[in-house]
Amino acid sequence: EVQLVESGGGLVQPGGSLRLSCAASGFTFSSYDMHWVRQATGKGLEWVSAIGTAGDTYYPGSVKGRFTISRENAKNSLYLQMNSLRAEDTAVYYCARVSGGYCSSTSCYEGGAFDIWGQGTMVTVSS
Amino acid sequence: QSALTQEASVSGTVGQKVTLSCTGNSNNIGSYAVGWYQQISHGAPKTVMFGNSLPSGIPDRFSGSKSGTTASLTISGLQPEDEADYYCSTWDYSLSAQVFGGGTKLTVL
């Protein structure tokens, strides 16, 4: 069964650090781009970071310089190191797998959609 | 403001066909596969469409399409269990970022 399982969430004080993990199973982890997405209570989904199969990384301005995404293909694992945490980082964090691209009868599109999500891990930043 | 534009709310009756839309530009929807995600009571998102594929276990009353820079999710034969928040998302190469819509709250009357 294709599965993603997050862990590592918890309560941390402002300015603190936390490392999230995402364990992948049922597929060739090294062949897929992976992302972290979060959702604060009552808010929409917010993209947090991405890592390509070649190890290239991407971040939005809200977390750049504070968060680091990484992967360990030998362990089928994705990580998110979160430093200098703020109250506004409080959210459920999900890891997600990017599906491949496709071609319709008229056009071809690169991969940009998530096909698999984890169940999420809660991060609370509070004193 | 979200990079992708979705209706804030849509409603329909049981058995009706409803269509949710997601509008972007040539840098995102025009170039990349779009995903549609269902979220019930703020549980984990569930993918109901990715690119032109229906995930295993998703009823075939769900279908997706794309025309230029607008993607659509159609639910034919609306069911009570379809009531949820629906988000669209894709990659934007000019931003080098994954972009999301603000979400559509689907109510089944």
d(C-alpha A114, C-alpha B75), whole Å = 19
Do A95 and A70 meet the contact criterion of CB atoms below 8 Å apart?
no
Mean pLDDT of A111-116: 95
Mean pLDDT of A58-74: 98
What are A8-23's pLDDT values in tens digits? 999 999 999 999 999 9
Which of the four CATH numbers 3.90.230.10, 2.60.40.10, 3.30.565.10, 3.40.50.620 does domain B9-108 have? 2.60.40.10
User: What ranges do the domains of chain B cover?
Assistant: 9-108
What are B22-66's pLDDT values in tens digits? 999 999 999 999 999 999 998 999 999 999 999 999 999 999 999
Please give the pLDDT value at position A103.
84
Please give the pLDDT value at position B104.
98
Question: For A84-102, b where at least 16 C-beta lie within 10 A, e where not — what string?
Answer: ebeeebbbbbbbbbbbbeb
Q: How far is B22 from chain A (nearest CA, A)?
A: 13
Mean pLDDT of B81-107: 97
The DSSP-derived string for B11-23 is EE-TT--EEEEEE
What are A23-44's pLDDT values in tens digits? 999 999 999 999 999 999 999 9
Among A46, A60, A113, beta carbon nearest to B33: A113
**Is A111 within 8 Å of chain B by CB?**
yes
Collect all residues with Cβ–Cβ distance below 8 Å to B33 and sequence separation of at least 6: A99, A100, A101, A102, A109, A110, A111, A112, A113, B50, B51, B52, B90
Name the pLDDT band for A107 (thresholds 50, 70, 90): confident
Name the pLDDT band for B2 (thresholds 50, 70, 90): confident
From chain B, which residues contact A within 8 Å (Cβ)?
Answer: 2, 28, 31-35, 37, 39, 42, 44-47, 49-53, 55, 66, 87, 89-91, 96-100, 102-103
Please give the pLDDT value at position B83.
97
Do B35 and B50 meet the contact criterion of CB atoms below 8 Å apart?
yes
Mean pLDDT of A48-74: 97
Collect all residues with Cβ–Cβ distance below 8 Å to A124 and sequence separation of at least 6: A9, A10, A11, A12, A90
